[in-house]
Structure 1
Amino acid sequence: MRIQGTVVGITAAGKTMFWLQLGALLAGRKLPIRRMDQRGRTVKERLAVEEARRRLCAFGRHKTQEPQWVDAAVRRWHPWIKLRLVDTAGLVADIHPDTQLRQHMGESLRCLSESKIWFHVVDLGRTAAQGFQLSDVDRTLMEVGRQTSHYVVIGNKIDLPGAARAAEMLLKHGEDIPIFVVSSLYRTGFTPVVQWLREVCKHSA
């Protein structure tokens, strides 16, 4: 049985870094990464986490365009479950002028619609810089996510200035949904995320 979880959020929120760190905790330090190339073919690679970070993560926007995923056989949770973690292109509030990027964002939403689990990554540093206000995209994702069975908010970049206060605001804003605060860069705060995910998988079998 395969359960799909998709990582989604605005551009440059740290989605790919979160995806890699969570994938390493579940699948090991050598990640079996698959992605679709521009011709629609599946490309398979096995990368160490450090190499994957260098190649797949960036501080600019739209580094991730095509969906990429890691399959993890979490037999210690359940003997028949395979978990697929999908990383997607970042979303923006306005209509992007680049046609190809618009298509990638549409693909992100399609992946989300096919997923049992939603990992909504919120950039706490950006939230702090914007006067402790969530972006329009984040608010919309939160409103829609509340209506799904297995939606979780990941407050990312807790290591940045102002992020702790932004995390407090986020926790108050979403008192009715699971919210975890992490630093994907330093891989801190992931233990409760894994515990939550384990319970979801065990009860989904």
Structure 2
Amino acid sequence: MRNCLVIGRTNVGKTIFCINFAEFLGLQRMDVYFQLPDGTTRQRKFDLHSARQELSGVEAHHTRSLQSISLELPRGKGMRQFKLTDSTGLTDGIHPDLEMREAMAQTLQELRHADCILHLVDACEVMKVGGVKNLGELDLQIAEVGGRKSGYLCLANKVDLPDGQRGFKLLEKEFKGLNLLPISALYRQGFREVKEHVWRLV
């Protein structure tokens, strides 16, 4: 089964994107497979409300391992299955917590093998002092690596906000040629276009 990895800095909306995208594709209950950095795995069942309550949060590093959902992608009379994998939020520099360093290393390892990379960035961040540099070195490196892979798509999140809309236009200007799409993970804007992209890759 092809794997679609959702990657990005901490608190950019990766987990809420995964839950809402799964619902957008018709899922009402989800089996989530947790792949821990030490190699162990576990599985839990969630309804959508519980998933939002337990898996997402405003504090940094709420997600501490790879979390995968198996999904079916309908199109016309066809159906394709793929795995959507949420990942630990990345930070620049060396994190002081060993557990978080191992979780981030797991995410970067998964990046090498993913068939599809959905790279979430906070479009509002680039409107702050510092501009595009606010994305951080890791984001810029992921965009550079991803730009060379056909499965890469950069999702500029939070375009439901005025700063997000302006930030997306700035990103478009700065990263000419990058596969870039404006979305709102919270309000499901741009999800139809994300679905089209994933369909081509899985």
TM-score normalised by the chain length of structure 1: 0.88
- Tell me how large the CA RMSD over aligned residues is: 2.0
Shift of 1:75: 5.6
SS of 1:64 mapped into structure 2: coil
Structure 1, unmatched stretches of 5+, are none
Once the two structures are TM-superposed, the CA of residue 95 in structure 1 deviates from its matched residue by 0.7
Q: C-alpha deviations, 1:128-155, integer Å up to 9, x for none?
A: 2344323222111111111112100000
Between 1:25-34 and 1:192-201, the stretch displaced more is 25-34
Match of 1:106 in 2: 105
> Measured at CA, do residues 40 and 78 of structure 1 come closer, stay the same or move farther in structure 2, by a change above 3 Å?
farther
Q: Which moved more, 1:192-201 or 1:112-121?
A: 192-201
Q: Is the 8 A contact 1:24 1:31 kept in 2?
A: no
Q: For residue 141 of structure 2, what is the amino acid of its counterpart?
A: T
- The residue aligned with 1:57 is 56
Q: Which residue of 2 aligns with 1:142?
A: 143
Task: Tell me which residue corresponds to 1:74.
Answer: 73
Partner Cα distance (1:176, 1:38) in 2 = 34
| Structure 1 position 107, deviation (Å) | 0.2
Contact 1:119 1:151 in 2 (8 A): yes
Deviation at 1:50, TM superposition (A): 2.1
Q: Conserved in 2, the CA contact under 8 Å of 1:35 and 1:67? A: yes
Structure 1 segment 1-205 matched on structure 2, within 5 A: 2-26=1-25, 28-37=27-36, 40-74=39-73, 76=75, 81-133=80-132, 134-201=135-202
Which letter does structure 2 place at the counterpart of 1:29?
Answer: Q
CA distance in 2 between counterparts of 1:184 and 1:169 reads 19
Q: How much identity, in percent, do the aligned residues show?
A: 28
Compared with structure 1, are the counterparts of its residues 4 and 172 closer, same or farther at alpha carbon in structure 2 (3 Å cutoff)?
same
CA shift at 1:77, angstroms? 7.0
Tell me the secondary structure at the aligned position of residue 120 of structure 2: strand
Count of residue pairs brought into register by the alignment: 200
Question: In 2, distance between residues paired with 1:182 and 1:75?
Answer: 21
Structure 2: tracts of 5 or more residues without a match = none
CA distance, structure 1, for counterparts of residue 153 and residue 37 of structure 2? 30
Q: Kindly tell me: are residues 130 and 194 of structure 1, through their superposed partners in 2, closer, same or farther at Cα, counting changes over 3 Å?
A: farther
Counterpart-to-counterpart distance in 1, 2:11 and 2:129 = 15
The 1-side partners of 2:25 and 2:31 are apart by 11
Q: Does the 8 Å CA contact 2:37/2:102 hold for their aligned counterparts?
A: no
- Could you tell me how far 1:89 is from its partner in structure 2? 0.4
